[in-house]
Structure 1
């Protein structure tokens, strides 16, 4: 069987360790007996998961998940495979779903959400006290994320409580860590200004939301209207734009809107002069900003942006 990527093999191993960890037990057990019986393999004491997954088809893998006694409790959201609660097997990944969840957490919780997600991606499993301390270090202030980590568990399925009741520990599912880390890297790439007030934090989150909305629009455009958009770009010219605006607004008013588009989409390297005609400086700036008061700069801009 030809598996396309080595990471797909690793993901299959994670999948079996999640749902059929009994296979690696050295002693006989009912689950191992059922699995080996289904595959027609000898009832050996130990099973090498790497060797096993290389021989499995996706159909066999799906059948093995159905033999799991814990399929009603666990999920799996990997790059190549997805398993919903109840053992519903899907032979495709769900990283886009995971990334959207991580982005939503960042939008709602900002730097606190970042601190907790960052902590969970960097540890294997740990008690809550350790997670709170590390998240506080990343956040830069005391941060007790009891409610947030419960939200990640109950609403987003990005944090699991493992261990015993007496000694509980927290962990992020291994297969989603890289997807979450990619989202965090985008968050880190944008400089985070000092956010001293709640309003400032909300405004920063709104900027992130708008940037994400813009990226999603571009992604949709590339997937659904790329050829149409490229064709439009090749045919567009200054004269085309002038003719279009003159048809809409007439031979006089159209110029306000032409300046508005210049302001929105181009930077002009122009000379700035005084009333006496003396050159003050040269600057890359929007020409439309130099219009006289009352000439319709704001109106034209809003008209073009809002329609």
Structure 2
């Protein structure tokens, strides 16, 4: 009887006024997301400098990118900056999570102090660290002088500018990695550790064979978030160095900004934006595939 009733039912149809509720959200999505990207793709096929006539050139801007040494230099700076800005917070954030996972007095208060850099605005951070990096007046060189280390040029030297910027990025975003990994540590089961203790495993063996494999998915999530964020980093770099000295810290974001708003080459900067978006999507997909494979490996291990 129930099967007959179910078979006799007609599929539900949405009332005609349903689209009145969907239409505003659809308009917002089209206006904020779809139209800007469609317009950027269209502009990338044109040669247009503000103040001059626009002309369609097809893929000429993309071919120009291929032959542009400054673009490849900025791409190298971007990848090097991203690699360091991901690896350093992952190492230090995981170490901090292991420390704060232990029980000791004032643990909650110290956690709150540790995550405070995340709350500061990037421009304020850039201004403070720029003063700290000053070769003559900066506090960092003063601290180095106390232990007999000569003064460093930090962001004013092409060979040290990117590591110096990475130090600022690491200081700000290590707490994010710590919070993600700390959540993973809080969810770990206790049974494997009790079995390992019965078998006589020491602290390093428990960390390497139990803790690290079980928190690896959380570390991968942190790596994905940090990779995407570091790839599109702009505000701290621009506020501290504007891509200098020379072009030593000019990432794709800085080069794109200068091309669009200093040289007013809209068509070329649009092509650069499209290529940069493709790079971000490709790296994100690779990291997601690695995370998925990591989950499969963990499931097979169980």
TM-score (structure 1 length as normaliser): 0.25
Structure number with the higher strand fraction is 1
Higher relative contact order (CA 8 A, sep 6+): 2
TM-score (structure 2 length as normaliser): 0.26
Larger radius of gyration: 1
Structure number with the higher helix fraction is 2
